[in-house]
Amino acid sequence: MRTSTRSHRRVFIPFALITSATLLLTACGSGPDGSGSAGTAQAAAASGAIPTEDVVSAVRKDAKAAALLPSGVSGLTLAVSVGGTPPGTSYLDDGKTLAGQDIDFAQAVAKVLGLRLRTEQASFEAILPALDSGKYDVGIGNFGVTTERLRTIDFVTYINDGQGFATREDSELTKVTDLKQLCGLNIATGAGTTFEATLEDNKHVCTDAGKKAYEVQTYSEQGAIWSSVQQGRSDVVMSTINGLRYAVAQQEGLKFLNEFHRLDVGFAFEKGTKLAPAFRAAVDRLIADGTYARILDKWGTTGSAIEKSQISPPELKD
């Protein structure tokens, strides 16, 4: 496998630790079930600060999980998509320290497996294709497990998130249960995401019904998506359930509409990776020792908990 022969030749640096700081335009909101989560998430929401307590440094190496790694692997290159909106990966106010739910999970798994991580930032849409080319060993960025992605990517799941909608408070929309409700509207979403694919694949529902198709507006930065909605260039946002709840909680004039489609979310690897069993064991170890719950509580996403990790499960169907 390319991963095992590629990784041990590199010079690795320790994964960045999360430091205490505040981040503009961030706060905690409700969990995915609509109720606020406890602990640091609530405190951060009240203060306007990103949650920064250390929930990872106490994690210790697990020999049984580490033994599942391919021979010779002591470090990996991790590709990170920096979206700018918690609980996804964003910068602290020093402009260089990365923080987010995915970051915490990656760091915690690395500690369980005794791995060093070299972190490289990449656009969301560039990470999955680069895994197959060998540029990166593993990718994070709230990657949902879909049938299409499973053709070329292996996943190790660690949360359950999915697709949802949000809009301005003055919108007549209260819930989106059918994409025909969006006909004639401008929909803002992230480039290269499952949201873009879902919207593009279903544009025909409007024309089939004799209505004007909605327009899909894609952006690489979350900040641009929300500016588009706030300024009226877009009517609706389609994004992650957790990310939408966070954004709506910390921006005035917006409302969360509803969950549309749940998806498992996982670490992404090239197809056929030999790293998957070790990563699955590491996630299960974090669930067993309570670290998993502490990470979710920190980011206000306890409604996204899973009972155990899986390797490349089929896409969840409604």
Window from 1-10, 131-140, 267-276, 288-297 with minimum mean pLDDT: 1-10
The pTM is what?
A: 0.78
Which alpha helices (DSSP H) does the chain contain, by range? 2-7, 40-47, 63-66, 101-113, 124-133, 147-150, 194-201, 204-208, 222-230, 241-250, 276-289, 291-299
CA–CA distance, 17 with 243 (Å, rounded to integer): 22
Nearest to 78 by CA among 140, 1, 125, 12: 140
Q: Tell me: pLDDT of 19 over 90.
A: no
pLDDT tens track for 199-244:
999 999 999 999 999 999 999 888 899 999 999 999 999 999 998 9
How high is the pLDDT of residue 218? 96
| Residue type at 176 in one-letter notation | V
CA–CA distance, 43 with 152 (Å, rounded to integer): 41
How high is the pLDDT of residue 292? 98
CA–CA distance, 255 with 244 (Å, rounded to integer): 9
CA–CA distance, 141 with 152 (Å, rounded to integer): 17
Nearest to 127 by CA among 282, 316, 270: 270
Residues 235, 187 contacting (CB under 8 angstroms): yes
pLDDT tens track for 163-209:
999 999 999 999 999 999 999 999 999 998 889 999 999 999 999 99
Window from 213-222, 244-253, 262-271 with minimum mean pLDDT: 244-253
- For 141-275, strand residue ranges (E) read 153-168, 186-190, 215-219, 236-240, 254-270
CA dihedral over 35, 262, 244, 79, signed as positive or negative: positive
How high is the pLDDT of residue 84? 67
How high is the pLDDT of residue 223? 85
| Residue type at 174 in one-letter notation | T
The reply to whether omega before 14 is within 30° of 0 (cis) is: no
Distance (Å) of CA 10 to CA 68, 183, 272 = 21, 51, 22
Phi-psi region of 70 (alpha: psi -120 to 50; beta: other; left: phi over 0): beta
